[in-house]
Amino acid sequence: MTPFTKCALIILLTLTMFNLAQSYKLFIVNELGENMIVQCRSKDKDIGREEISNGYAYSWNFELFYEDSWDCTIQWSQATRQFEAFYPGLEDNEWCTPTYCQYIARRKGIYMDVLGTTIIGGTISNPKDTLESSDTIRKKEETHRIAEANKVFTHFR
C-alpha cells in the first residue's frame, strides 16, 4: 500500500468515525411553580448551573458515541433532586425517542414526559416532600398501558 493510500484510508476512517456519533438532546421542563437551578454533568463534561423560570425548559445536546451518562441536580426553594438523566440504552426505551428525551420537574419528583406519571428517581433533601411509592407508580403505568391498549383495540373493532 502506498503512503498516499494509507493516508487517504486513515482520513476516510476518521471521517466515518465522526459521522457515526449520533447527536442526542435532553430537555428538563420546569413545572415547579417557581424558578429552579439545574446542573448536569457527564464523566467528562459539566455544563454548569442554569436558572430556569417556571414554564420554561432547559436543554442540551451531546454525542451518543462519546458520552456514557449524564447526572443532573435540580434545586428550588423546597428541595433538591438528583437523577440520572441519560445512560446507555435510554435512547432505545419506550419513553424516549432515538434523538431526544424529555423530563418534567414537579414538586413530587422528576417525571418522564410521555406518561407523565413515571418518576425516574431522585433523592430528597427535604423529608416532608415525599415521592410516590414504586408500587403506586407501577400501578399508574400499568393502568396507562391498559387504557392505551384498549384505545387501540377499540379503534380497530
* 118 CA to centre of own chain: 12
Range of weakest confidence among 3-12, 44-53, 105-114: 3-12
Q: What would the mean pLDDT of 9-17 be, rounded to a whole number? A: 53
| Residue 142 confidence (pLDDT) above 70 | no
Given a contact cutoff of 8 angstroms between Cβ atoms, the answer to whether 82 and 122 are in contact is yes
Average per-residue pLDDT for the chain: 71
Please indicate, yes or no, if residue 145 is contained in any of the structural domains.
Answer: yes
Predicted confidence (pLDDT) per residue in 47-57, tens digit = 899 999 999 99
| Residue 74 confidence (pLDDT) above 70 | yes
* 77 CA to centre of own chain: 23
pLDDT of residue 110: 83
Please indicate, yes or no, if residue 7 is contained in any of the structural domains.
Answer: no
Please indicate, yes or no, if residue 144 is contained in any of the structural domains.
Answer: yes
- The CATH number that applies at residue 25 is 2.60.40
Range of the domain at 115: 20-155
Please indicate, yes or no, if residue 82 is contained in any of the structural domains.
Answer: yes
Please indicate, yes or no, if residue 8 is contained in any of the structural domains.
Answer: no
Domains: count for the chain? 1
